[in-house]
Chains A and B, each alone.
Chain A
Amino acid sequence: MASVRDETFNEISRMLDSYRKSAAPITTETDITRDLNLDSLAVMDLMMELEEKFDISIPLNLVPEIQTVGDLTATIQKIREDA
């Protein structure tokens, strides 16, 4: 059975799929600005989409710390657990 974290990761990967620069699948190591077609503004829009999807608020202060899809998953998971 998939863990909650796996489910979160799967949801995020599905949302990021259209931003892939190459055929390589999205992993926890995927770098959000380097490996995906997302500039800093698009990242802000993505955060709003994720907030909507998971019914959470992602504090702006945390965004600079998020580099990889793994970081993003961990951040969202932590916010969901704390809620």
Chain B
Amino acid sequence: MLKIRDLNVHYGGIHALKGINLSVPEGRIVTLIGANGAGKSTTLRTVCGLVKPSNGEISFCGESLVGQKTTAIIKKGITMVPEGRRVFPDLTVHENLVLGAYARHDHKAIEEDMERVNTLFPRLKERRDQLAGTLSGGEQQMLAVGRALMSRPRLLMMDEPSLGLAPVLVQDIFNIIHRINNEGMTILLIEQNAKAALELADYGYVLETGCVALSGTGQELLADDRVRKVYLGES
């Protein structure tokens, strides 16, 4: 569904991505793991058009995304839950969700999706008219995911959804990712929590300083010695 070929990105004098290749098949969960600064977020931001690549090719369902505006890319059915949630704090929960569907005009379907998000996250329904900035971290993360779903994406990219959340909430978030995937959503996930991510994912890529160092199915990577040492903290 999403294919990245030989992607290079320069970022304020730094060669952030050095020829990355990866692909995300439809209906699967693919995860990117790696240390801070390995280029995980840059990869996602480049797919969204927020960062311009120096060269390389990104295609989504056969269409090239390189050089397209973010607005156009989102309209093709890609969305991203940004790192740090980035909900609009001085807008209400409801307004945040409505903004998620900003590009859409199919009012009936938007209502359905709003229902669906409310079923998925009952807390958001309770707090519909509250300012998003007053929500707890976990609730904000749910709002960020709900908001992303409101664009009715075909590919959902998530940048560290578990960052800064209590362990019990981390489990919730992973359950939700699993559930959304079961409903047919293709997911590209970045995680610090490598173990949980690899257990959930169909396929994983390990990024090191802008290169793909390793790739394999979640199980293969979990069993890999280097991954166990460096990313799972086992000796």
Tell me, yes or no, whether A binds B. no
Chain A residues within CB distance 8 Å of chain B? none
Chain B residues within CB distance 8 Å of chain A? none
